[in-house]
Amino acid sequence: MIRRRASGGADRGLAVLAHASIGFGLLGIGFLLGIAINVVIWFRSRRSSYVSVQAEQAGAYQLAIFVINVVLVGVWLVMLIFVFLGPSEIGEGQLSVRQIMAGLWLALIPIFAIWYVVTIAYGMYGAMRVAAGQEFWYPVFGAWARGRVKHPPPSLDRSPTDRSD
């Protein structure tokens, strides 16, 4: 069963670290570091269902964001290559495909920057909620993580000091 809240400061601290480790993404390759931190916390905290499910959902979220970012950067680079190497034949008064792709490529820069910051900020928001002793579940990954571990319905919530799993 999943404990609905952390039973101690150490459990809460590990859960906060699991969510906050996405902040390493601001360092570029830090997304991989954040995922590694979650894997270590998840393996280390198998005795605490609370920490385990928090680390699992945070790790799944961070891995999904990492994969999406890699795909987006790949598409962006393909577009950039097309801008430099694509055809540029145009008729009088027309835009070439190359010019259109260049405009689209430039438009995607701020959109990707916003996406990047918002996904990291959402993980940090999760860390703040958990640090404050409140529940936090990522929309898709929280339900997935809860489904992997048996848990009591909310009306049968256990007390925070109950340590039996």
CA distance 137 to 144: 10
Q: Which residue has the tokens 């069963």?
A: 1
What pTM does this model have? 0.74
Confidence of residue 28 (pLDDT cuts 50, 70, 90): low
The mean pLDDT of 125-143, rounded to a whole number, is: 87
The three state secondary structure string of 71-107 is HHHHHHHHHHHHHHHCCCCCCCCCCCHHHHHHHHHHH
Helices 9-20 and 97-131: angle between axes, nearest 10 degrees: 170
The mean pLDDT of 18-25, rounded to a whole number, is: 84
Q: What is the largest CA-CA distance in the chain?
A: 77
Q: What is the pLDDT of residue 132?
A: 92
What lies within 8 Å, CB to CB, of 55 at 6+ separation is 14, 15, 18, 38, 41, 42, 45
CA distance 61 to 64: 5
Most confident listed range (73-77, 92-96, 140-144): 73-77
Q: Which residues of 119-135 are buried (b: 16+ CB within 10 A; e: fewer)?
A: bbeebeebbeebbeeee
pLDDT tens readout for residues 77-133: 888 887 777 666 666 667 777 778 888 888 888 999 999 899 999 999 999 999 998
